[in-house]
Every structure is written in structure tokens, then in C-alpha cells.
């Protein structure tokens, strides 16, 4: 059984990938392909979640009793997050308010700030944001907590939202601001005269690569057009029988859609889509009508999308077989990324026919050292580090 409890900070793995997101399900919707791809090649992946999503709308009728019952919904969404992270291969997870330090300067628990839809695909703040809401926590305070984690775990890659939070949700915007300030603090912030300072005694760490999970505008419009055609032939309905719709391909796109000139790398994530889809299905209070096309069919190859998923307002989104990212200037030192070479045990035969084009096997494991980053540079090195092939 998957534990609903987060990982204790003393047990968080070092190196690898750190993802910072606002709510349970954002790790899957926003960067599931990246996280699963990194985990698939053995990188330690840690997820930090800003709050527990107690203001989220509940989709299934059988869980309608959770609507308006914040403690019960929190319990369910914590369980969903645990299951989703297990599907993605995430090794460790923690909520932002669980990070130690600065107890006198912040609420003990960060709550969901809530949102309202201002138009399809764009969210805005609610008028009744409380002082314990994630977006109400001063960025300098939350960032210092996260900076302590960054210094302890020393990730090679940090992944978060783009500046407008993907679609404008205040907690997503806050998650971006906190992450960007945290990596700055982790690199050069001095200790302060405070016994509860989370940076006390920790060596600075300059994260080599910080990236924003985005979508290519061209790829997204093509995927939306594909989804429009699918809906025209076969209308889709939500868990409560309501007709689902998607954004028109020619409409104004949410802020996560970046022009091609600002997308620094796109990698193929089709190999991990089953894991991503399983993680989406784990978030059953928030996501519905999760569908993955049969990727083994020849007609599915080269299609702009591989399936779809609907959120609580009935908006269908395409599931892409790719993950795009924007590298943050100053945190784009991809040539510093390293992985440990893989060695076979001396007792294990080395399949030289596969690796060296020779017949038979050879028992000396010293010849079987494999480094997937060997001779890679620039974006290709980042793609190899994350376990994905570069897409044009």
C-alpha cells in the first residue's frame, strides 16, 4: 500500500530532479512526462507541493460528500498525490509547509488560495483569500524554506511553472515566484541571526539547470485541432453526464503555450505515457475522462496528441507525447549535468553482441561501463539526462 505520508526531510534523496508545484495533480498535469522520464532512467525525483488543494472542485458523484468538507478532501487528495507519485516513479515528496524553519513568520499549514475562471483556460483570484493561503505567504519566507531544501538535496535540475502559472491560478504563480527566489537564495544567501533559519549550517548550492514546464504554441494548436476533430466524430461526456469541450485551436492560449523561439528543448515522452495516464487517473477528484490512444497502431504515429483528459470545469485537454521546456538564463548550465556510469557485476555476463557488435558474452564487467551523457552537449545533454530523445 502506498503511504499517504510525505517523505521526512532527513530522508530526501540528493541529486537528480526537484519539481515544485502548487497542488496535488499539478505534478502530473504540468510535468508528469518529465518526472516519469527522469525516474525511468534512475534519477532520484523529489516533488514539493505548495498546498493540499482543499478548495478544489470534486468531480465524481460518489465523492460529492467531500465538497465543502476541507479536512476530508485534504485526506483524499493526499492519498491521490501518493498514488500518482508512485505511478510516476517519484522517489520522495513533501509539502512546502512541512519544510523546517521560520515558524514565527508563517502559518503552520499553507492552504489552497482558490480561483475563479475568468474565461475558458484562464483563472483569477477569489475575493476571500485567507492569511494562511499559499499565495498569502510572503515569497521571501516560503522561498527561504525551499532554499534550505535545495541546499540539503542539491538537485541538478529544478522544474516548476512558467511565470504566469500555466493558466493564471494564484498558487501556480506563487509556486513559480517561490521557486525562482529559492534557487537564488540557495546559491548565495547568507545566514541570518535566527535560530530558526532554514539555511543555518548548509553549504550554498548553485542549481545547474532550472527549467519551466511549458508547451510549444505550434504543437499545442495542432493538438487542439486534433482533439476538435475527435470530438466532432465522437462527443465526450464527463463523470456527471455533462458534455465536455476543448479550447478552439485558433483561440487565445493559456500562458503555458510558448512561441517556438522561447522553447529551448522538446523531448519524446511517449514511452512513459502509460505511467502519466495512470497518475492522472489517480487524481480522480480533479480529473476525468482520461483516455490514451492505442500507441501501437500505425495510424497513431506522428499524430500531434496521444489522448485527452478533462478537468473539473469540463474542459478537455490533449495529452501530448512530448514535453517542452524553457531554460532559465543563469540556470542553463546543461554541460555540468552528470550521471553515474552503470557497471555490471563481475559475475554478470556482458552482452557484447548488443553493445559492441561481437558474438557471445564477455565476463569482464570493466568493459561494460555505460554513461548515457557521454559526448553530449547543450540541449542534447539535458535530454539524455532526463531520459528522452530530442524532438525537432
Share of the chain above pLDDT 70, in %: 90
**Is a pLDDT exceeding 80 seen at residue 347?**
no
CA separation for the pair 202, 199 (Å, rounded): 6
Mean pLDDT of the chain: 91
User: Binning pLDDT at 50, 70 and 90, where does residue 21 land?
Assistant: very high
Query: What's the pLDDT at 337?
Result: 96
**Is a pLDDT exceeding 80 seen at residue 10?**
no
Residues 122-139 pLDDT 10s: 899 999 999 999 999 999
Cell of 294: 492505442
Report DSSP letters for 318-370, one per residue: EEPSEEEEEEEEEEE-GGG---PPEE--TTSPB-HHHHHS-SS-B--GGG-EE
Query: What's the pLDDT at 4?
Result: 58
Lowest-confidence segment of 23-37, 172-186, 247-261, 347-361 by average pLDDT:
347-361
Query: What's the pLDDT at 348?
Result: 45
Residues 232-262 pLDDT 10s: 999 999 999 999 999 999 999 999 999 999 9
Query: What's the pLDDT at 358?
Result: 40
Query: What's the pLDDT at 191?
Result: 85
Query: What's the pLDDT at 360?
Result: 40
CA 238 to chain centre: 25
Q: Where are the domains of the chain?
A: 17-214, 216-323
Alpha-helical runs (H) found in the chain: 26-40, 70-88, 139-153, 170-188, 217-233, 273-282, 352-356, 378-386
Residue 222 CB: number of other CB atoms within 10 A?
Answer: 17
**Is a pLDDT exceeding 80 seen at residue 1?**
no
Lowest-confidence segment of 31-35, 95-99, 252-256, 358-362 by average pLDDT:
358-362
User: Binning pLDDT at 50, 70 and 90, where does residue 12 land?
Assistant: confident
Architecture of domain 17-214: 3-Layer(aba) Sandwich (3.40)
Query: What's the pLDDT at 357?
Result: 40
CA separation for the pair 38, 279 (Å, rounded): 15
Is the pTM here over 0.85, yes or no?
Answer: yes
**Is a pLDDT exceeding 80 seen at residue 217?**
yes
**Is a pLDDT exceeding 80 seen at residue 86?**
yes
Q: For residues 181-202, give the mean pLDDT.
A: 95
Q: For residues 256-282, give the mean pLDDT.
A: 97
Query: What's the pLDDT at 5?
Result: 61
**Is a pLDDT exceeding 60 seen at residue 365?**
no
* Residue 243 Cα distances to 27, 53, 122, 313, angstroms: 26, 25, 20, 11
CA angle 240, 246, 247 (to 5 degrees): 145
Alpha-helical runs (H) found in 46-169: 70-88, 139-153
Amino acid at each position: 500500500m502506498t503511504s499517504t505520508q510525505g517523505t521526512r526531510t532527513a530522508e530526501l534523496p540528493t541529486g537528480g530532479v526537484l519539481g515544485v508545484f502548487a497542488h496535488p495533480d499539478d505534478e502530473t498535469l504540468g510535468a508528469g512526462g518529465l518526472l516519469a522520464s527522469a525516474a525511468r532512467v534512475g534519477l532520484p525525483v523529489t516533488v514539493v507541493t505548495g498546498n493540499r488543494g482543499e478548495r478544489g472542485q470534486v468531480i465524481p458523484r460518489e465523492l460529492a460528500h467531500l465538497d465543502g468538507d476541507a479536512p476530508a478532501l485534504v485526506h483524499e487528495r493526499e492519498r491521490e498525490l501518493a498514488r500518482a507519485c508512485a505511478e510516476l516513479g517519484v522517489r520522495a515528496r513533501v509539502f512546502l509547509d512541512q519544510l523546517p524553519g521560520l515558524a514565527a513568520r508563517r502559518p503552520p499549514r499553507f492552504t489552497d488560495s482558490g480561483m475563479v475562471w475568468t474565461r475558458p483556460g484562464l483563472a483569477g483570484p477569489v475575493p476571500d483569500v485567507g492569511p494562511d493561503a499559499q499565495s498569502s505567504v510572503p515569497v521571501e519566507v516560503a522561498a527561504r524554506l525551499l532554499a534550505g531544501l535545495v541546499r540539503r538535496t542539491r538537485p541538478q535540475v529544478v522544474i516548476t511553472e512558467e511565470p504566469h502559472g500555466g493558466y493564471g491560478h494564484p498558487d501556480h504563480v506563487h509556486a513559480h515566484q517561490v521557486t525562482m527566489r529559492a534557487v537564488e537564495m540557495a546559491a548565495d544567501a547568507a545566514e541570518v541571526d535566527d535560530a530558526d533559519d532554514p539555511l543555518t549550517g548548509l553549504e550554498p548550492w548553485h542549481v545547474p539547470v532550472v527549467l519551466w514546464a511549458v508547451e510549444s504554441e505550434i504543437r499545442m494548436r495542432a493538438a487542439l485541432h486534433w482533439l476538435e476533430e475527435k470530438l466532432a466524430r465522437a462527443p465526450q461526456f464527463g463523470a456527471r453526464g455533462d458534455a465536455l469541450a476543448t479550447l478552439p485551436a485558433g483561440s487565445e492560449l493559456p500562458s503555458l503555450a510558448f512561441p517556438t523561439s522561447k522553447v529551448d528543448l522538446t523531448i519524446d515522452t511517449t514511452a512513459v505515457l502509460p505511467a502519466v495516464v495512470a497518475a492522472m487517473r489517480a487524481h480522480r477528484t480533479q480529473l476525468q475522462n482520461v483516455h490514451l490512444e492505442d500507441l501501437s497502431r500505425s495510424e497513431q504515429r506522428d499524430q500531434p496528441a496521444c489522448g485527452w483528459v478533462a478537468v473539473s470545469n469540463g474542459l478537455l485537454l490533449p495529452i501530448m507525447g512530448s514535453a517542452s521546456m524553457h531554460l532559465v538564463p543563469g540556470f542553463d548550465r546543461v554541460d555540468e549535468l552528470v550521471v553515474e556510469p552503470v557497471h555490471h557485476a563481475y559475475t554478470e555476463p556482458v552482452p557484447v553482441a548488443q553493445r559492441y557488435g561481437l558474438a557471445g558474452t564477455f565476463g569482464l564487467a570493466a568493459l561494460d561501463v555505460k554513461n548515457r551523457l557521454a559526448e553530449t552537449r547543450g540541449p542534447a545533454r539535458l535530454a539524455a539526462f532526463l531520459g528522452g530523445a530530442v524532438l525537432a
